[in-house]
Structures are given as C-alpha cells and as structure tokens.
Chain A
Amino acid sequence: MLTKRIIACLDVDGGRVVKGVRFKNLRDAGDPAQCATAHARSGADEIVLLDITATSGNRRPLLDVIRATARSLFVPFTVGGGIRQLEDSAAIFDAGADKIAINSAAVHDPTLIGRIAACFGSQAVVVAIDARKVNGGSAKRGFEVFTSGGRVPTGRDAIE
C-alpha cells in the first residue's frame, strides 16, 4: 500500500526561506539548505523548494540555491518557480532536483508538462495549481486558477 506523504515546503525569496499568510506579509524562516535538512531529519517524505518570485520577477530559477539544498538532502527534492521551458527543467535536474513543479507555465503552455515527462519521466513532473475561491466569477465551480505566485487571475476553473 502506498503511504500518505508529508511534504515540507520552502518558499524562497532572495535566497531565504520566507512564509506569509495568503501569499503576503512574508516572514524570514531561515536558510534553505539548513531548513530542508532539518525537515528531512524530522521525517519529511519530500522537500519542495518554490522560488516564489522567479515568474513575477521574470527571473531564471536560482540554481546555486537549488544545488546547495540538493547536496544536503537524502529525500526526494522538488523544485518550482520560473520554469518556462524544457531547458529550465534540465538545468534544475542537473542541479540535483528529483522532480520539478510547474505552475504559470502549465497554464500558458500545457504541452510543457508532456514534454518534460517525455524527457525525464512523468514521476518527475508536478503541476502546482494556486486556486482562490471566487463568487460569481468566471470559474464555474467556485475556484479560479491564479498564476505568477498568486498575482494573475486566469479565468480558468481549478477543477476543470
């Protein structure tokens, strides 16, 4: 039987782990590599590192932070943020990630999901969806998809 997994998520901004409430009022939570190691030691089944301003800041993923974090980890390591094309994911796998997470790019170019899966396997691709409850908006079932770190509404329904 497959066990239920507990995943610790590191939202990274400016090379530091941060955490806010509803994507705002960010507080510092430490160094990514140290934070990841601590969570893995206490029993996390997976670590996710999200570069939360890569897309909105039009930046490439922070490969040095990814590399330093991957080096200290022995549990599956997923990286997301700013992945726009196949080459971005290749660089992230090279830096030591086991899986990549795509969010904005999966909305703008859904073929990217299949292209990454064809190169690296479907186990290596996660689609992350930021959904916000809307009343009477364009999302039929009540949850609208947002991209760019929760900044840009898409008019798309989360379930559909």
Chain B
Amino acid sequence: MQKMNEAQLKELEQDLDAIRNDVLADLGERDAKYIRKVVRLHRTLEVGGRVLMPFGFIPPVFAAATLALGLSKIIENMEIGHNVMHGQYDWMNDPSLNSQTYEWDTVCTSDSWRRTHNYEHHTYTNIIGKDRDYGYAVLRLSDDVKWHPGHFLQFINYILLTVLFQWGVGVHELESERIRRREISLKSKLPFLRDFFRKGGRQAFKDYVFFPLLTFPVAPIVLAGNIGANLIRNLWSSTVIFCGHFTQDAETFTEEECVGESKGHWYLRQLTGSSNFTGGNWVHLLSGHLSYQIEHHVFPDIPAHRYREMSPRVQAVCEKHGIRYNTDTFARQYWTVLKRIGRFSLPDRVRRRFEAQPA
C-alpha cells in the first residue's frame, strides 16, 4: 500500500475531516426530504408490486409486478436499510429511521449486519484475516490466501453466492470456515443460529408462503413472482457490493500494517481499498450510492445521497496526496471483478504466467 508518514497521514485526516464537517453542519431539511421521498417510493413499489402480482397471469403484468417488487427490495436494502443502519439518519431522531432499531427486508438480521458489516467490515476494511467480507470466506481474491485445488471451482461458488446472496449474507456470521477449522465451536453460534432461523423463516414465510396462499387460486404465479423479485435483488446487490472492494486495483492489507493505526491511516485504507463506478441517477439510487463506495467508506455515517457532491472534494484530496481514486464505468469495474475471481481460482504459478502477458 501507499506509504505515507504520520505527518502526511495527519494532514490527510484533517483534509477529509474538513469535508465531513462541512456536510455535517449542512444536514437538515433537504436530507430529511430526500430519505422520506425514497421511503415513499419504496412503499409505493412494494404495495404496487404485491397488489399487481395476483394478476400476473397476464404476462406484462407479471413482469411489471415482479420488477416493482424487486426494485422495492433493492431500494429498501440498499438506499434505506443499509444506510439507515449506518446511522446516517440518526440525527433526524425519527424512530422509524433509527440505526439500532431498523429491521430490513432481507434474511440477514439487522443485529448481525450491524456487527459484521458496520463494525467488522467498516473498521477492518480489506485487512485479510480480519475483514471476512473480503471474499466472504468463499472466494479467493488475493494471494494472501494459499491456493488449493478447490479454488478451481470458485466461479461456481461465485454464481451460487450471487444467486442466493441474501442467504449467504444471512449466514455470514456463522463463520462456518472457522467452525470447520475448529477455532470456534458450533455451540457458541447457537444464539446466532436461533436469530438466523427466526428471521430467515420470517422472510421465507412472507414471500413464499403467506402472499401466495393469500391469493390461493393464483398461488404459483405469486410464488414465482416473489422468487423472481428476490432473485433480482440478490443479483443486483451482490454485483454492486463486489464492485466496491474486489475490483482489480482495490488494495488489501495485512494485520501487521494496521496495528495501532491512526485515524489518518484508517482513512488511507478506506480510500485505497474501495472502488467507485459511474452511472446515471437511477444507478446511484439503486446502488444505495455504493457507486460512491470510496466516499461511503470514508464517511459511512453521512447520508449517502451526499456522496455525489462530496466526490469532487475527495478526488481533489486524493490528488493532493498522490492517492489513486479508483473509479470507472460499472461494466468495466464489474469485468475486473470477474477477472479477479477467475485469476485467483488458478494456482499462483499459472496465474503469474497469465498476468505477465499483456492483456
């Protein structure tokens, strides 16, 4: 990683804090209106999708209802749930938008998410061995992990992970790889498992039992539509998240590098470990502004719709300190993710020979 001395890191910290403080001081009506508008859009899409779904025996209605419900889940998970749980709207003091009590529309419990994502992933970002979001203990994405023949199949794992993403995220805190290595006992995870089954059951009951049965004669149509909506959300959210940290140039770190690190070093790690992608307004909305993953990692508790206007200032700070600001189109960033998954499925010897060739 970029080497900077403590004085430079201190300056970086001050530069980024200045951006942060300016936005914090400006939070108000505009931000409240924005998130309430998004919540209203979510309710409209969800209610609309659910009401239309039973009429899905008309093919265009089926497509519209499935899309509406899928979009509603995407918006709820990405722009509302994820951001609210980061505490981005705690300052509004609205109990419905409170980071500690918000429960989102996905299998993963909010409590588990706040532990594994808000705390572990955002504090130990891209530190191999500490940030379990790096490859989700399923994918090998850097040579810090020793290769074994099982990795040949990791592209299949990737497809499974992205299709079943909400279940993967839900079961993430089980740390099954550590249980297999006997570092922790299954028994210590019983409270987690109880919560996982309760929330997973609740989500499955809602989409796969209750709403289909409620509309009994057309139950198969409603079931298919609900599965489709969940699939749309799974594919999109996993893709957005993968583009945030697994792109070609997103850096990884060792535990030794980060022992007793300063706030400036934490900032540097967030800047170099994350990557952005560009797109239209709807791309930013549907990604929960994780299209500005760098800004999100530097300022995780600032309302995400502000990242767009903070981005030029963050880029200027990066330029000043000679730090690479990793951004590109969505398609190109995603392509580098796929290449990374493919490359690291190969033994190091083969991969190096492959990398030596000009692309």
A binds B: no
Binding site for B on A (CB under 8 A): none
